[in-house]
Chain A
C-alpha cells in the first residue's frame, strides 16, 4: 500500500510533480509503459492477458493526484505572506495551522491573538484577507530569500493511525484513489488497463478534460474520496456516506448522471461477493467522471468513492476497511470484466 507516502507528499493543484514522480517510481517496473501529457496527467498502461483476436476490453482507471492548498499572492513589508486558496477550502479551518511553503519552508497561519480581539471580533469568522502565513521572517527581504510570489503552500500533516482502524492525513482526497489504482496496476487482468492520474481536479476538473480528448475506453472507473457527514447532530438523510459501510457508488453528482444499469451490475457483484457497498446519497460536487463520460462518443463509467470525514482539511479521516473494500471491489469488477463490457 502506497497511501502513507502518497498523502505525505505535497501536490496542490498545478504542482503535482512530486506525486507523479513517486507513482512513476513505484509503477515503472510493473507497467508496460507510461507517459506524461502536456498538462501533467500521468498515463500508465498495462496490457491484459490472453488477448484473443478481437482484443480485450480497455478499462480506464482514474484518480486525481492534486490536493487543495494555498498560493502565495503577496509578501508584506513585515515579511508575512498573504495567500489565496486553491480548490475548495473553508477559511474557518485555517487559523493557527502549520503549513509548508514553496521549497520546504515551514510556516504557521497567524491571526490576531484572542487577548487582542474585541468581543465582537471573537464572534466573527476570519476571512482569508485577515489571515497570513508567518514563516519567521522579520522583513520582506528575508522572506523573499526563501519564498516567492506564486509559491504553493500545502498543509503540514502526518499520516497517522487513529483508534482501531482509521487513518488521518491530508490529501486523502484523492491519494486514496491513486493508491487503490496503483495497487490494481500491480495485477494483470483479462482487459487492458489505462491508469490515468490526473492534475487540477480540485480547481475544476481540468486535467481530465485533456485526457478526454485523446483517451478511449470500454469502461471507466473513477476512484475518489467523498464527503462523509455521519455525525450525530445531522439528520440521517444528509449523511451522504458513512464510514465503515464500504465504498460508495455514485448515483448522480453535479457533473454526471451515472448509468442505472451499470450501478445495478456493481451492486449485484458486491452483494454476490459479500463486499459492503453504499450509495453516495448526495448529488452535489463533481469529479473527473464529468469529463470522462462525455469523452469522444461517450465512455460507460462508474465512480467508487472512499468515505472521508473532514474532507479538504489537513485532518481528513477514512476507515481502512473502506479502503480495502474499495480495492476489493475494483479488483472484482476487473476480474468479471465481461459482465461490465458486454452490452454497453
Chain B
C-alpha cells in the first residue's frame, strides 16, 4: 500500500501487505457518574500503533494485560470505531466504512476469540454456529452440508457431532469450533486474540499445531495476539511488543529473541519462567518494579520509564531527562531493528 516506507523488518519484502495499520489510536471516554454524564477523561488504550501484515505470515502482538493489544485487534476489525488512524485491508480503508460496507470485508478478515466458553452461543448447535457466517452472507444453500463437513474435518472435529451444543465439548474442541466458524467464509487473514491462553497446556499444543497447519494449507495471514512470549516464539514470524498502547519493539522472531533491544522486552523475556530447573536456577532475572501505570494518564515522554530498570539504574541524570521529556520513536538505532527507546541496546536475555 502506501506507507510501507516506515515499515521495517519484514520477512516478506516485495509483497504487498494484506493489512496495513498506521497510527491507530483508540481512546475510550471516561464519564462521570450521575444523571448527566460528562466526559472527564480518556483511557488511552491504543496510541499510534503502526504495523503491516503480509500474506502467509504470522505477526505476533505481545504485551501484558491492559497494553491495548486486544483493543488493537478489535479496532482493526472495526468492532470498535477507531479514534484516529488508518486501517487498510486489501487496499481498502476500513475506518470510514459503514457497518453495511464492512460486511463484505468481513468475509476476508475474521477473528478467533480467547475464551472458547464465552465466544460460542450456548443456545445454538455447533452446526448452527459454524453455519452462521454462511447464513449471514447469504451463502447457505443445499451444498452447505458438504462444506460444513469439510470445515469440521479441517479443524479436526468429527462432522457427526454437529448437532450438539457447545457445552458438550472440551475447551480445545470448542476453540476448534471457533476456528471453524472463522474459516467458514474462507478469509485471507485471521486475527487470533489469545486463542490458546484459556486452554490447558496439553490441549493448547494441539490447537497451536492446528493453526500452523491451517496457515500452511490455506495461506492465511495471522495477527496473533498473546501475552505468552513462549507461544509467540513458537508460532510467529515477526513479533511486535506492546506496552501501554504503543509498540515498543518490532523485529523478526529470531532477531527479537536473540537480540532484544528495548528494556521492556528484555524484562518481559527474563520474567517468563522456563520449564527447565537448571536454566531457571542459573538465569539472571530482570525484575521490574511496580505495576503498569493507568492508561488514563500515561507518563510523559517514554511510557516505560516509571518501571524501566535502565532508567532507574544505568542512566545519568541528564540522560533521564530525555526519557521524561521526549517520547522515543519506534526507529532503528543501530541495533538491527526498531525499538522505542532512546538508549536501546541489545542485551542477550535467554
Tell me if chain B binds chain A.
no
